[in-house]
Amino acid sequence: MPACSSPSYMASQAWLSQALSPSQSSHAVPVINLGRLKKDPATRALVIQDIVRACREWGCFQVVNHGISKSIMKGALEAASEFFELSAEHKEVFTSTDIRQPVRYDTSSRDGISRARSFLKHYANPLEDWVQFWPMYPPTYRKKIGEYAVEIQRVSMQLMDAILQGLGLRPMYLQEKLEKGMQFLALNNYPQFSHQDDRIGLAPHSDYGFLTILLQSSPGLEVMPHKDNSWKAIPAIPGALHVHIGDHLEVLSNGQLKSLVHRAILNPAEARISIASIHGLSMDEKVNCAKELVDDHHPKLYRGSSFHDFLDFLPSNIEYKRFVESLKIDGA
Ligand code: OGA
Ligand code: NI
């Protein structure tokens, strides 16, 4: 093998070019201006192309100009942080070992991947079905998280439509089911890193839905992009949202897109809040490979599964692996 194509030479070149031009676009997570989706068809087609390229190369991207006001985003982070500041007794009413509870609060590693984080998880779409179960304290919680959830659900619909069209599926594919589909919010609270701690707040994992949309109060999210398999920190660009691919989009796309492995690192400068919104079909609806993406040359790669199947899988997932690995059809 010539020296210039040996793995260590290429690795050192990659490192060098990264060190010399850290802001060069191919090294930074793609940022998509979502407002351009609503422009003329040619512009929309270009944005869709950019989104799908980001999904293939990175498994994630950031969105700006998504139409959610700064005050709604700030309000959601404030409500989350006020919830975590409540006394233990207000939070512990939501603690349960039953992962099927509609609202769940916990402080550590019952789920196998949490380290230092505490979290509150609950459903959000359709809002009128779920808001009655949400915390009543802080008193603004339901209003602020509700406003944010509705806006994020809207953005998730736009993104799914763009991604599925980018894969060659017809406009509005699955739209009705997505409208009624599940939205699952995970509010995460991470302490500031101190030197005695493990740096990891949340161990590497992928999310099970189609898409996750994440709002972070400060940096801490790291991703393993598909194109180069090394951890990359995701900056907290003011006003931007981070979007990544989940296991069920890998299934729906018949493996054309892959779910993104990510983790959270404790921030040395401050405690950190993030709000992850996970979007999928309704709980009992099985997600299958889109039949339009299966043919003689592209056999079906995954078995169908629902969110309930995912919940059944969780307790058996002791050595953490992606849910989608358990769905692969042998020999396909
Ligand atoms: C999650 C998650 C990342 C973060 O909640 O699934 O990956 O930065 N969160 O909190
Ligand atoms: Ni996650």
Closest CA to 103 of 130, 68, 71, 72: 130
Does residue 60 have a pLDDT over 80? yes
Burial of 157 by CB count in 10 Å (0-12 exposed, 13-18 middle, 19+ buried)? middle
pTM over 0.85: yes
Nearest ligand 1 atom to the CA of 278 is 6
| 283 touches 264 (CB < 8 A) | no
d(CA 103, CA 206): 21
| 20 CA distance to ligand 2 middle (Å) | 31
Nearest ligand 1 atom to the CA of 190 is 10
pLDDT of residue 197: 78
What confidence category does residue 281 fall into, taking pLDDT thresholds of 50, 70 and 90?
Answer: very high
β pairing state of 60-64 and 31-33: parallel
| 60 CA distance to ligand 2 middle (Å) | 12
| 97 CA distance to ligand 1 middle (Å) | 20
Nearest ligand 1 atom to the CA of 276 is 5
Mean pLDDT (whole number) for 110-127: 83
pLDDT of residue 109: 57
Pocket test for ligand 1, best of 29, 185, 221, 232 (most atoms within 8 A of CB): 221
Q: Which amino acid makes up residue 116? A: A
Does residue 214 have a pLDDT over 80? yes
| 237 touches 66 (CB < 8 A) | no
Percent over 90 (pLDDT), the chain: 80
Q: Cα separations (Å) of 270 from 88, 189, 196, 273?
A: 21, 11, 15, 10
Does residue 47 have a pLDDT over 60? yes
| 221 ligand 1 Cβ < 6 A | yes
Nearest CA to ligand 1 atom 8: 221
pLDDT of residue 115: 65
pLDDT, one tens digit per residue, over 181-202 is 999 999 999 999 988 778 999 9
